[in-house]
Amino acid sequence: MSGGTYVEPSFERDTTYITDRITVDGAGDGSGDGPWPVEAGRYRLVVARACPWANRAIIVRRLLGLEEAISMGICGPTHDADSWTFDLDPGGVDPVLGIPRIKDAYDKRFPGYPRGITVPAIVDVPTGVVVTNDFPQLTLDLSTQWREHHREGAPDLYPQALRSEIDEVNRWVYTEVNNGVYRCGFAGTQSAYDAAYERLFTALDRLEARLLNQRYLVGDTITEADVRLFTTLARFDAVYHGHFKCNRTKLNEMPVLWAYARDLFTTPGFGDTTDFVHIKSHYYEVHRDINPTGVVPAGPDLSGWAQPHGREALGGRPFGDGAPPGPPPAGERVPTAHNPHVGDDGLVHT
């Protein structure tokens, strides 16, 4: 999860990341140690399914069909104050990087790395050093720099003609919604919470209005903007409504956003990357300042995610001129026990 600090009276996120980029020419933005050229098989994307920021990268990688070009290491849902760990792997060691925690890749490049050890992160496999954890730029580069390795039929998630609108939508969705739920959850005073609560639901009402007569946030196909909003919506009822006190209404009580979220959930790449068990485990077990007992609630009932959404009536083409991805690789499938809508083939079934 991207770094954040609890600061009285309100939550402020640490937004200083390693801004190196992996680019076609390897030049990146000129600020890093590179060069980091696009090269199939060279890099490993390290994620945690619990984390909404990492979940974005999982979704984009899957939609674009980059599984063979960029391998993926999956951390467990919980971590200590030090680092995310590879406790899902045999012996608690990532089989490609040979390390027990992602912090090792940070420290190998920056000894004593002073900032948050976050996911998603991309690691250079030959050297074992972290390349970047700049999660907003990371997914854009997967779309724009890795085109040579996209699957046949991959969507254009960041079309040139819509980039300015996508960027604008992403800015306020990040500020008001993606980060807005954290502003509520980690508010240190009543007044800070009240302001954050009002701000969040004002934004959600704005999204209800925006999506009433259009299927997707920008244009008539799925874009980066939809990916970024979805990962917050997928966690809303399971975590944010109760744990973060975002409790004016549940997602399933906001008819437009609920239908929009179900539309995406049943689209290959979205629901089949959503691990509700990991999501709940992370927030309720790690955030002991909010939930001191670490008890993970049994609810809520998540069976409604695969119900018909009716959004097809608005038109739109999820993948534009392309096609949906096939089943995820066997080793990357979300267990059915963690998401009741995922079948043995790794896909969501309605």
In residues, how long is the chain?
Answer: 350
Residue keyed to tokens 């951390």: 75
Helix (H) or strand (E) holding 282: helix 276-286
In Å, the largest CA–CA distance within the chain is: 55
Between CA 250 and CA 204 the distance in angstroms is 11
Q: What was the pLDDT predicted at 33?
A: 75
The pLDDT score that the predictor gives to residue 16 is 81
- β-pair partners for 47: 74
Strand partners, 130: 123
Interatomic CA distance for residues 20 and 30, integer angstroms: 8
Q: May I ask the CATH class of domain 163-338? A: mainly alpha
Cβ neighbours for 75, distance < 8 A, ≥ 6 positions apart: 46, 47, 48, 84, 85, 86, 87, 88, 102, 119
Looking at residue 82, what is its pLDDT? 81
3-state secondary structure at position 11: strand
Residue by residue, pLDDT tens for the chain (350 residues) are 544 444 446 666 666 899 999 999 988 665 567 799 999 999 999 999 999 999 999 999 999 999 999 999 999 999 887 889 999 999 999 999 999 999 999 999 999 999 989 999 999 999 999 999 999 999 999 999 999 999 999 999 999 999 999 999 999 999 999 999 999 999 999 999 999 999 999 999 999 999 999 999 999 999 999 999 999 999 999 999 999 999 999 999 999 999 999 999 999 999 999 999 999 999 999 999 999 999 999 999 999 999 999 999 999 999 999 999 999 999 999 999 999 999 999 999 98
Closest CA to 334 of 53, 49, 95: 49
Which of 273, 269, 270 has its CA nearest to residue 261?
Answer: 270
User: Which CATH number does the domain 5-149 belong to among 3.40.30.10, 2.90.10.10, 3.30.499.10, 1.10.12.10?
Assistant: 3.40.30.10
The per-residue pLDDT for 2 is: 43
Closest CA to 197 of 244, 229, 150: 244
Domain segments of the chain: what residues? 5-149, 163-338
CA–CA separation, 226 vs 202, rounded Å?
19
Which residues form the catalytic set?
Answer: 51, 182
CA distance 249 to 163: 32
Q: How far apart are CA 128 and CA 143, in angstroms?
A: 24
